[in-house]
Amino acid sequence: MPPHLHVLLLSGLLLSSLHTPPCSATIADGDILTAGQALSVGDKLVSRNGKFALGFFQPQPTAGISKSINTTTTTLPGWYLGIWFNKIPVFTTAWVANRENPITGPEMKQAQLKISRDGNLAIVLNNNTSSKSIIWSSTHIIVNRTTGSSSTNTTTTTSALLMNNGNLALLMASNNVVLWQSFDYPTDVGLPGAKLGRNKITGLNRRFVAKKSLIDMGLGSYSLEMDTNTVLHIRRRKPPIVVYWSWSSGQLAYKLIPLLNELLDMDPRTKGWLKPEYIHNNEEDYFTYTSLDESASVFVDIDITGQVRLNVWSQPKMSWQTIYAEPSDPCNLHDVCGPFTVCDGKSIPFCGCMESFSPKSPLNWDAGDPIGGCVRNTPLDCAAGKQKNTSPTDMFHPIDGVTLPLYPQSVDDASTQSDCEEACLHDCSCTAYSYNGNRCSVWHGELRSVNQNDGIGIYSENVLYLRLAARDSQSLRKNNKRKPRVVTTIIIVSFGLLMLMLVLMIWIFKSKSCGAPLYGSQGSDGGIIAFRYTGLVRATKCFSEKIGEGGFGCVFKGMLGDQTAIAVKRLDGARQGEKQFRAEVSSIGMIQHINLVKLIGFCCEGDQRLLVYERMLNGSLDAHLFQSNATVLNWSTRYQIAIGVARGLCYLHQSCRECIIHCDIKPGNILLNESFVPKIADFGMAAIVGRDFSRVLTTFRGTVGYLAPEWLSGVAITPKVDVYSFGMVLLEIISGRRNSPQVSASNSDHGDYFPVLAINKLHVGDVRSLVDPQLHDDFNLEEAERVCRVACWCIQEIESDRPTMGEVVRAIEGLQELDMPPMTRLLAAIIECSDVASIK
């Protein structure tokens, strides 16, 4: 899973702005509110384990918000009744009662929580339970068991209990039956044991709705809920209504839950004590999770910007940390920052105004709600409402390396960038243009969903030219003129330091046989390291121990200073090496998964292009399957390797921000660690496909014997090329032999083409004869038949007939049945040729 799933959570800073008054009077029974008792401002119920508290609180504005409030007529934030983590120093709410009806002004002094006359929990004013003074009430209707009618005075029959899990329950006093509970009416947070989903019998829909801002607990723009078709999705509640992310019941059960379990078991902060579940039966459909560590503090929430996060409290760091987020990058949400903004998921905060723009609502912006976007500081010189500008004075400011805004319009007659600029400049409604790949695009009105790229992805060369008034353009140029003076000073100082370092490095080089100490820099978020070439020379002992060689360069054994075993790939050839370098860093460099080899870092100095990986002590799958002196893998290991590689490919295709096609799946690119866990390696041919596209053209082409038929025709490829290659690898895992014999062309025999033999044996029920004889019949026949059936589906000639990798994972694990695969036309033709040859 990607590293960004393990960054420090923003809520530690943001939620600290919430304020609760000091406790002035605690309810006598601690965790229980009974008839006749009242909870006022300053009082609180505390769960028996001390973990949660219930009381009134007021969001406290930050310094930026306070400044905005003081300069406007906006009133201070209202008061809410809520549940929060009692022992966490960063004030964090878990539930809010009156989120759409905050208490303001002097009324707060009169507000109380008590049991109302009808037996419900109610926030009332003036020590009075009339309907006019009720701010909020629970929804249960107390029924008289004798008469069958609703009771009018049942205050003595119910009490409220704040439970150890953070659930506020309204109980029948006589038997403690739960009549109403806060877990059934969540706000934006789900605690362990709470449910997210529907009750099919009662129609109860438990959903999360984000709050409006840090000071407004009201219903915000995003929700996480399960619809009547049992599809869990994140969507925008307000126009435009957009569904950003969805999981069907099957995907929840067979994809999301296994993925979460795998991630949680990999993370030492959650390993063994946090378990997600999906329950699907005749009564309910819901997602939940349990915590086996009562001392841990954890919650799931949907934040103001629509990102769903699993948060765990870190006592050493005194902050909340994220374990999982969906989407992993908040900028993936549609128009998350509003018009005229640039979203950068790696910055804090991630929303920023474009040049010469300011937040439309500084109050909302400071409160964590940027959806209103930004407005111009200076109006355009082009006359308002004028469609054609006869004497344009506006200018354009370039914004580099971004995704282009939504809703572009093409200008077909603009054959150069100058033509494109003129077309926009002479139209007063045009606010920006882009000229990329001989294509001119212009935008009218607001610019939305502009995201900053990381510099190495497919959008790194995009430039958006933003229209600004001439006065703004002049101020930008003045600012830029001041920069060279500072830059010149920095260059002089840096040059002096560089010369000093150069002398030092020469001295070190002369005093030792090879290289210099390893230097590198690693971000605080655990990202990849930028190594120095001299450091890698030393780590690899002058590249003296070669452990592999490929079409783009050689791989060398190395060791870092902390005794981390590494494999260093040194790429050859400036052009091809550069392409492979960019492909690997932009794909595997930004993601993590247990079945993907970990890229530790890279070196990019002059013409040197090197990639540093974790070293796999058991080498490649290729060696264990086909070399006579290698360790023979038993069936259990082979089966787990098949599942692991399938999971890794499924992650690349379906779970990354953008689909990644590996393009060269083969045993040589599957590495095995000390426990024989498989790791997919060598992403030098990888292709990245945006989620808005289904195909991609690539100049790279995989390895003969694993190439899908459609690739040979030169068409744009889909992830199904990896599925085909994986099918061939499965056949080799089963048999221990290559899918095609390594013989000369003059002595070729089509009958030896193993896929033909495999599908024939599968059809006649003789899979046993296909299994590697080195196993000596020590294998699970049911698993072997299952893997063989999946393999034969994967190598179907027509790509639409092949399963997805998600389906492959479920099929290999026995969670999904596959029919008998047909014989493809290509394999049938090979058989026919073989029969003709045998007759002759």
**Residues marked as catalytic:** 664
Integer Cα distance of 194 and 167 in angstroms: 8
Q: How many CB atoms lie under 10 A from the CB of residue 83?
A: 26
DSSP state letters, 753-812: -HHHHHHHHHHHT-GGGGS-GGGTT-S-HHHHHHHHHHHHHHT-SSGGGSPPHHHHHHHH
**How would DSSP label each residue in 678-729?**
EEE---TT-EEE-TT-S-B--S----TTS--HHHHTTPPB-THHHHHHHHHH
- DSSP class of 223: E
Block residue for tokens 């059936």: 789
The CA-atom distances, in angstroms, between 163 and each of 94, 145, 184 are: 13, 27, 14
Structure tokens at 380: 């355009």
Calpha distance 116→281 (Å, rounded): 36
Tell me the pairing of strands 553-559 and 659-661. unpaired
Q: Is 271 annotated as a binding residue?
A: no
Dist. CA 271–CA 269, nearest whole Å: 6
In terms of Cα–Cα distance, which of 672, 665, 671, 767 is closest to 719? 665
Strands 18-19 and 659-661: unpaired
What span, in angstroms and rounded, lies between the C-alpha atoms of 464 and 628? 58
In contact, 130 and 49? CB cutoff 8 Å: no
- 44 and 23 in contact (C-beta within 8 Å)? yes
Note the residue count of the chain: 840
Spatial strand order of the sheet with 158-162 comes to 32-33, 158-162, 168-172, 178-181
Can you read off the two tokens belonging to residue 300? 């799931």
Residues tagged in the binding site annotation for ATP? 569
Residue list, annotated binding site? 569
